[in-house]
Structure formats: structure tokens, C-alpha cells
Amino acid sequence: MPFEVERPGRVPYAEARALQLRVHRDVVAGVRPDTLILLEHPPVVTLGRNATAGNLVLPEAAYAARGVEVHRIERGGDVTYHGPGQLVGYPIFRIGRRVRDHVARIERAIVEVAASYGASAAPRDDYPGVWVGDDKLCALGIAVRRGVAFHGFALNVATDLTAFDLIVPCGIRDMGVTSLERLTGRRLDLDEVADRVVEAFRHVREPLPAATV
């Protein structure tokens, strides 16, 4: 199924959220097709609907002192970090009630991208996202309004992984994080990875099966 792609570069979180909401409104209204937004954020911590304050390592004021914004948002999931070197994707797609199908397709696309770099990654049954063993490569959290999904995924490409020390990633204390650069042992270009993400999404966007009653 066709979709548009927007790649606005490095965008502050509040500005990107406003963009998401504008695109979501237009997709709901039928005045634009499904749209995949791919971008990068300055350092920011976001707290989803299930987040607890205990998963912030520092008092909120201390994040601002370090140049890290904190935002509470409507996606599912707990707390996560976004920053330079991380490819953030917002698939604003019509999914109806097929939330699990949508999540599975995002995971399949990221697994395909990792495989294209020789990295063996996979979803887990116990935690969302895409993992390499006990290390999370890609975080995932979505919201759905009026049958259209927004929010999405954060793929660690060249991310400074020490930044995750500022939080308990996704509220999981006994797991780690990784990146494509760590897995491949070489420097990667974020735009090139974004190209591969677009192609992977095209591969997994075959028509959804008919819903069963």
C-alpha cells in the first residue's frame, strides 16, 4: 500500500509532535495518504501513558540543566530517550483496530533493516520493540485515534548509548541497549539507514487481511 515520506531532519520534540498531529488530522480527514515521518531529535526524554516517575534517574529539573527536555505524551509504553544519531519514525497509517498487525509490521521492517547490515535482531514475546539478545536496538510505542496510528519507533543507529543512563529505558531494569554502529563496528550514515527503513516499510505494507469476527 502506498504512503508518503517526510524527512525534516533534526527537529525539536514539541515541533515534531505538532507535525505529527497535523499529519494525523489530514490522514483522518482523507486529504493526504498514510505518511511515514523520519527524523532525529535533540536530546529529549519522553514518558508514555504507563510511565512512572521512578524510571527517571534524576529529578525533572536536572534534565533541563543537562540540556535534555522532558515530555509527557499519549503513546503507549514507559520512558525512553531520543537524541542525535537515533532514527525516529512516526508511521501515521490507517490501521483501524489492527494494532497488533501494525506493531508487528514495524518490528518486521526494523528486523529487515538490521539484517541488511548483517545484524540478527528480533522481537521478543515479553517486551515490545526489536532486540539483539537482551539489548534493545529499537524502542516502540504507538497511539491510535480514529483508526489512525501515530507515534512509532526509535532505532539506535549512532546513538550515544551512555545517554540511556539518564533513565530506566522503557522501565526495564535488567536489560541493556545497543545500536547498529555497535553491532556492525563501523560508522553508519543516518540518511542511508533512513533509505533502508523506507524500503523495508514498503516491503511489509502488503494489504491487511480481512478482519475476522
What whole-number distance in Å separates Cα of residue 133 and Cα of residue 72?
A: 29
What whole-number distance in Å separates Cα of residue 37 and Cα of residue 9?
A: 10
The set of catalytic residues is 170
DSSP state of 4: E
Q: Give the pLDDT confidence score for residue 1 in this predicted structure.
A: 73
Q: Give the pLDDT confidence score for residue 127 in this predicted structure.
A: 87
Mean pLDDT value across residues 156-185 = 89
pTM of the model: 0.92
Q: Give the pLDDT confidence score for residue 213 in this predicted structure.
A: 36
Q: 42 falls in which pLDDT band (50, 70, 90)?
A: very high
Q: Give the pLDDT confidence score for residue 209 in this predicted structure.
A: 53
Q: Give the pLDDT confidence score for residue 211 in this predicted structure.
A: 47
Mean pLDDT value across residues 173-187 = 92
Higher-pLDDT residue of 94, 211 = 94
What is the chain's mean pLDDT, rounded? 91
Q: Give the pLDDT confidence score for residue 163 in this predicted structure.
A: 93
Q: Give the pLDDT confidence score for residue 172 in this predicted structure.
A: 67
Which residues neighbour 139 within 8 Å (Cβ) at sequence distance 6 or greater? Answer: 77, 80, 128, 129, 153, 154, 169, 170
Q: Give the pLDDT confidence score for residue 212 in this predicted structure.
A: 44
Which of 109-118, 169-178, 188-197 is predicted with the least confidence, judged by mean pLDDT?
Answer: 169-178
Q: Give the pLDDT confidence score for residue 177 in this predicted structure.
A: 94
Q: 49 falls in which pLDDT band (50, 70, 90)?
A: confident
The strands making up 69-72's β-sheet, listed across from edge to edge, are 69-72, 44-47, 79-82
Mean pLDDT value across residues 86-108 = 96
